[in-house]
Amino acid sequence: MSSDRTPTGRRRLAAAGIAGGALLVVAGAGLVLAQLLDPDRPVRELALRDARAAAGLDYAQVWRDYSPCYRRLHPEAAFVAEQGHTGGVPTYRAPADTSYTVVAVQADGIYRRAEVRVQAPGFPPLDYEIDERVYGGQWVVVDRGGLGHPISDDCVRGGGS
């Protein structure tokens, strides 16, 4: 006879179930608390990942960070192919010891403007903006450019679904 059919075995299973449920509740509460204490964390994480990908010439990752509307209008193969064409100016991968910092995050309606600083040793810092919004329940990149530039969002301009 297995031990889970005895009163002691049933109590152990019930206790394990309660403990597991409590652990899930505590973990969920921790995630909610973290989101309440630092609501811009996902924005900063996406901006840093995107900046590293761009500086590392990982254009496939840059494309994946964009909104679904942008990706639908700009197929990955064409997007990646055109990234190397900079008007005759060669592009180079950033050195491994390059630092990436989100200097500020500013709310702008449905968007968040993440000011990113890329600092490669021996070069002046490069500051630019990555514009993000929630789409389909997750933060995505909708645009990037100079600080304070007008945001261009394919999901708003009729590319949305």
pLDDT of amino acid 88: 73
Q: What does pLDDT average to in each consecutive run of 10 residues of the chain (161 residues)?
A: 65 76 66 68 97 95 95 94 77 93 96 97 96 95 95 78 48
Q: pTM, whole model, 2 decimals? A: 0.73
Structure tokens at 113: 């403007």
Q: How many whole angstroms separate alpha carbon 96 and alpha carbon 72?
A: 32
Q: How many CA atoms lie within 13 A of 151 on its CB side?
A: 21
Q: How many whole angstroms separate alpha carbon 22 and alpha carbon 20?
A: 5
- Per domain, the residue ranges of the chain are 3-35, 40-159
Q: Which fold has domain 40-159?
A: Nuclear Transport Factor 2; Chain: A, (3.10.450)
Contact residues for 118 (Cβ-Cβ < 8 A; gap 6+): 51, 55, 94, 98, 99, 100, 125, 126, 127, 128
